[in-house]
Structure 1
Amino acid sequence: MSKKKVWIDTDLSVGMKRYHREGYSDVDDGYAVLQLFKAENIEVTGISAVFGNTKIEDAYRLSQKMAAEYAPYKIAVFKGAAEQINLAEVKTNEAVAALAEALKKEPLHILAIGPATNIGILVLLYPELKSQIKEVVLVAGRRAADAYFKIGKPTSHHAPDLNFDLDNDAFRILFENNIKVVLCPFEISNKVWLTAKDLETLKTEDTGNIWLSEQSQPWLQQWIAGGETGFNPFDVLASHYLLAPEDLVMEELNAHLEIHTNDMLLETPEHNFKQYLICNTQPGFKVTYCYDVVSDYHQKLMNSLTKH
């Protein structure tokens, strides 16, 4: 069986405390990376770190750790962008250069589960390699500006569309260059939950699973404190698309970059606006939009994470 060649671009922050506010950072990138490490039909050809959930130095360190300690084969890791694209002075980095070299050798699927900065820079600086990108799978988007990402029961806060919010231009570059884009937004990840029981199930003799389960405990407790019984493993829906797209429900829509009232500042009196990535049937940039999972998805997800 020929394996799907996948490059992972990630803002890993497993176990990290947040820098600018109380609490812990997302752990979901860790689930996506481990899932692809274990997938028999996937070959991870490289990992690049990007800023996002945490600082680039942390994402790079954690990417190195996961590749060195939990990957079943040798995977090179590269340090990428520390901030969003500056269109007035586009600079390359180690990760972009490495991804360019990899694409020169063979076509690749790209799992970009942080801001799309590294991929956007690549497309700007190496436009001749666009045809080598089979698809870019991203975690972003919504159907309407008021389709807020509600967290907690009752809703304790709105979550940002962080990957898009941190670098709007990177997404625009992908769309305007007709790169095939697959979106796994909050709409689908909000239908999948991991609980304390699931974290216990992960604690097999597999060292990567044990580490991820332990590092996920503070993250789980944050969600429980907000009234939930578990947490949404956002990025694992994107990795699952590459592993087994038949487990997701999707449709072809068109994407638009639109400006609306800032969903993070709805209670403030100031006139504050931001860009949104809106997907609907109006004319725009074609995307594959994943919005639901098959009925036995949770078991399929757990099986993919616990296989040795």
Structure 2
Amino acid sequence: MTKKQVWIDTDLAAGMKRVNAEGFSDVDDAYAILQLMKAENVEIVGMSAVFGNTPLENAFPLCQKMNTEFAGGKIPVHSGAAEALNLHEIKTNDAVEALASALKKQKMIVLAIGPATNIALLLLRYPELKTQIEEVVLVAGRRKETDHFAIGNQGRRAQDLNFDLDNDAFRVLFESGVKVVLCPFEISNKVWLKKADLDQLAQGDAGNKWLAEVSQNWLAQWIHLGADGFNPFDVLASHYISAPEDLVMEELNAHLEIYPDDTVPENDRKAYKNYLLCDKNAGFPVMYCYDVVADYHERLMASF
């Protein structure tokens, strides 16, 4: 079997306590990484950490932990950007240089499940390597600015966090011409993991047991918001790589537009932000994943 060569760039938080707010951080990066570690048709060439769900100083050790405990330490792990792209002062980092070295040797798919900062830095410093990137798979986007990322039934709207934290990085990707695949909230909110699923994972191997453990507080947080499970956002992007036939997708065009910030309560046109919108209007071509096959849940659990 010819394995897909994949580089993972992640803001891995694995259910850690949030740094600047109450509550816990996302766990879905961990699901995406473990799924690809187990995929028979995927070889993980390298993994890099980026700021996002948690600061870089937390994400990087977690990447090392997953590599050591669940991949036998075989994956090179690198530390990347700690903050958003600064177009006035482009600074490289270990992750960017390691990704560049890897791309000089072979073509790869890049799974970018945090802010796209490291990938944008690579494209700005080494534009000649863009043809070595087969595609960049990201978790971001929506069709309209009124497509809110609703969590539970308590009126909470989530950010399009990976995009919101570094708009310029996404613009660099689009303008570079690399193939972009988006797995947005529209598809992930059709997939749910619940207590029974965590109980099932807890009966599995060491990686599955760890996933079940770090997901408990995350699940409880979603239940508190009125849901009965959580959406494993980033695992839809990893699943696109390992088994794209399990997802439903279409070709759209992406563009950035400014509208009132839908995450600000009672926002009377005082706070605005960029939105990454995907439709048939003029823009940058993307593959937009928006649904899953009928038995997706069974296929997802089987992948672990």
The alignment's TM-score, normalised by the length of structure 1, stands at 0.97
Which residue number in structure 1 is paired with residue 165 of structure 2? 166
Which residue number in structure 1 is paired with residue 76 of structure 2? 76
CA deviations 1:45-76 (Å, max 9, x no partner) are 00000000000010001000000110156001
CA deviations 1:165-211 (Å, max 9, x no partner) are 00000000010111100000000000000000000110134111111
The reply to whether residue 117 of structure 1 matches residue 117 of structure 2 is: yes
Distance in 2 of aligned mates of 1:229 and 1:265: 24
Q: Is the 8 A contact 1:37 1:72 kept in 2?
A: no
1:155-304 equivalences under 5 Å are 155-269=154-268, 271-304=270-303
CA deviations 1:205-244 (Å, max 9, x no partner) are 4111111101100000001111111000000000000000
Distance in 2 of aligned mates of 1:216 and 1:269: 36
Q: Is the 8 A contact 1:28 1:235 kept in 2?
A: yes
Distance in 1 of aligned mates of 2:155 and 2:201: 28
Range with greater deviation from structure 2 (71-80 or 192-201)? 71-80
SS of the residue 2:143 aligns to: coil
Q: Which amino acid in structure 2 is aligned with residue 121 of structure 1? A: L
Q: Is the 8 A contact 2:11 2:50 kept in 1?
A: yes
Unaligned runs of 5+ in 2: none
The alignment's TM-score, normalised by the length of structure 2, stands at 0.98
Q: Is the 8 A contact 2:141 2:182 kept in 1?
A: yes
CA deviations 1:112-147 (Å, max 9, x no partner) are 000000000000000010000000000000000111
Distance in 2 of aligned mates of 1:74 and 1:268: 48
Q: Which amino acid in structure 2 is aligned with residue 158 of structure 1? A: R
CA gap 1:150/1:129 in 2 versus in 1, 3 angstroms: same
Distance in 2 of aligned mates of 1:7 and 1:87: 24
Range with greater deviation from structure 2 (73-82 or 158-167)? 73-82
CA gap 1:32/1:204 in 2 versus in 1, 3 angstroms: same
Distance in 2 of aligned mates of 1:43 and 1:53: 25
SS of the residue 2:215 aligns to: helix
- State how many pairs are aligned: 304
1:72-151 equivalences under 5 Å are 74-151=74-151
Name the Cα RMSD after superposition.
Answer: 0.9
SS of the residue 2:258 aligns to: strand
Unaligned runs of 5+ in 1: none
Q: Which amino acid in structure 1 is aligned with residue 275 of structure 2? A: Y
SS of the residue 2:6 aligns to: strand
Distance in 1 of aligned mates of 2:269 and 2:132: 45
Distance in 1 of aligned mates of 2:165 and 2:284: 20
Range with greater deviation from structure 2 (63-72 or 78-87)? 63-72
Q: Report how far residue 268 of structure 1 moved.
A: 3.3
Distance in 1 of aligned mates of 2:253 and 2:8: 25
CA gap 1:205/1:265 in 2 versus in 1, 3 angstroms: closer
Distance in 1 of aligned mates of 2:250 and 2:118: 27
Range with greater deviation from structure 2 (4-13 or 260-269)? 260-269
Q: Which amino acid in structure 1 is aligned with residue 6 of structure 2? A: V
Runs of 4+ in 1 over 3 A off after TM superposition: none
Distance in 2 of aligned mates of 1:32 and 1:212: 11
Distance in 2 of aligned mates of 1:264 and 1:203: 34
Q: Is the 8 A contact 2:260 2:267 kept in 1?
A: no
